Structure formats: structure tokens, C-alpha cells
Amino acid sequence: MVETGKINLNSIQKIFPPRSENASEVEAVHQVSATIKPGEFIALIGPSGCGKSTLLRMIAGLELPTTGGILLDDEIVTAPSRERGFVFQEANLYPWLTVEDNVAFGLKINNKVKNKKAEIQQFIELVGLKGFEKSYPYELSGGMQQRVSLARTLINYPKVLLLDEPFGALDAFTRMRIHDELIKIWQERKLTTVMVTHDVEEAVYLADRVFAMTPRPAILKEIIDIDLPHNRHRESSEFIALKTKVLKALNFQD
């Protein structure tokens, strides 16, 4: 079986033009090169505003590099595609639709929803929301809304899952529960996953490798291998040592 979901970042630079007459152009990302293997989980971490989300949006095809190129399975990324599923910071659910209708929405756009009821149910169960099919977004917690958003993205069977700090607004206990569910889904689906986060513990808990980025413009300063098997224990000495290593790469520790 041919593995899919390989991403090549080739000398990626992104410069935004001036926003006004007196403003200067802004370089958000500077000469980032890396290869992400099929099925790998990568965490992008760095200071606020450093360009992490811009890099993620370029992988999604929502932004284009100023110079350099991004390839998914040797094809140049030039526009958004269902091959690259994107989960945003906010769940962005349709408030007038139930959970099952929100999950089905992506299929409806492509007229694919016919005879898909069992599949929609399967993805609702995959994210742990069985019993909430007829609920509306206002009846759900923030964590449950993000699970709906995740199911809506996964139902299109993307090669790559892109996550832009989707758990940042959740309380610590909800976040930890969703981390474990995400790992289960990632392992089951063998999805190449790239996640932007500010949370060092989250990065070390989830990722195979952590890409530590500099303040803007984002330069890939260091790649840290997280050579721990899942399930990881946050209190273990090996876990704490890796957290310290990431913090050092971000210049938070000497």
C-alpha cells in the first residue's frame, strides 16, 4: 500500500504587503524547509504572532508562499482542498443545524450526503458524541463543539489534518480528555497531522516531532524528536526532560 500525506516545505517565505501608505511590508515566515512524513504528528510551537498559523494556512492552501513551494505527495499546493482538512481555533458551527447536520454539511456541499447516515453516525461516535446527534451548538460545551468540528473535517477523509490551536480556549481537564481522543483518531486513521500550539506540554504529549519557531519572521530554529511511546505520562522524568528541551529551544530556560 502506497503511503500518502507526505509534505515537503521548500524554502518557504511569506511577505505581506504594507497595509497602508506609511506602513512597511511584513515578513511572516522566512526560508522554512522541512519534510513531514506520511502519518507523522508535528507540533508547530513559538511565540504569539511569530508566523506559525501563517505557515499552517500555507500548507492548507489558504495562503500562498511569496517564494518557495509546498508539496503534498509531490503535487504543488496552490489552493484549498479537501485533502487537507483544517480545524480552526473556533468551532465555527452553524447554530441552526444539529450535530449530525453540522457533520454532514461538508458532504452536502458535494451532494454526497445521500445514503451516508450510517457514516455520519460513525464519525459522531468516533469523536465521542453518541447521543448528541440532535443537539444544537448552543446546547454543547466548547470541547464538544470542537469535536463536532473535528468530525465534520474527518468525514471528508483528508490525507492531512491541520489544527490551528483548536483547544486553546478549553479548560485543562477538557483539553487533556480531547488530547487522548485525538491520539486515538490519529492512530486509527494514520493521518499526517500538523498542529499549531502555544502549549509546550500539549506539543510534547501529542507530537512525534516539535518544530520550534523563532519570533517573527518564523524561522525553523530546532526540530525536537519526541521519542516516547503513547500513552505518555506527563509526570514522568522523560516527559519533563523533553518539555525542558523544548523550552530551551524557545529560550525560556538557560
Q: pTM for the complete prediction?
A: 0.91
Predicted confidence (pLDDT) per residue in 233-253, tens digit: 999 999 999 999 999 999 855
Distance CA(224)–CA(117), nearest Å, equals: 42
CA distances from 89 to 86, 128, 149, 195, 254 (A): 10, 20, 10, 11, 31
For residues 5 and 41, the answer to whether their CB atoms sit within 8 Å is: no
- One-letter amino acid at 92 equals N
- Closest by Cα among 33, 36, 29, 44 to 73: 36
Output the pLDDT for position 75: 94
The b/e string for 54-88 (b: 16+ C-beta within 10 A; e otherwise) is bbbbbbbbbbebbebebebbeeebeeebebbbbbe
Q: Is the Cα dihedral 67, 214, 61, 3 positive or negative?
A: positive
Report residue 211: phi and psi, to 5°: -95, 110
Output the pLDDT for position 44: 97
Distance CA(177)–CA(87), nearest Å, equals: 18
Length of the chain: 254
For residues 159 and 4, the answer to whether their CB atoms sit within 8 Å is: yes
Output the pLDDT for position 40: 96
Mean pLDDT of the region 196-223: 94
- Closest by Cα among 155, 209, 164 to 185: 155
Distance CA(153)–CA(127), nearest Å, equals: 11
Distance CA(33)–CA(68), nearest Å, equals: 9
- CATH code for residues 7-83+158-249: 3.40.50.300
Predicted confidence (pLDDT) per residue in 113-169, tens digit: 556 788 899 899 988 899 999 999 999 998 899 999 999 998 888 999 999 988 877
Output the pLDDT for position 110: 57
Domain ranges of the chain: 7-83+158-249, 93-156
- One-letter amino acid at 75 equals E
Report residue 149: phi and psi, to 5°: -60, -40
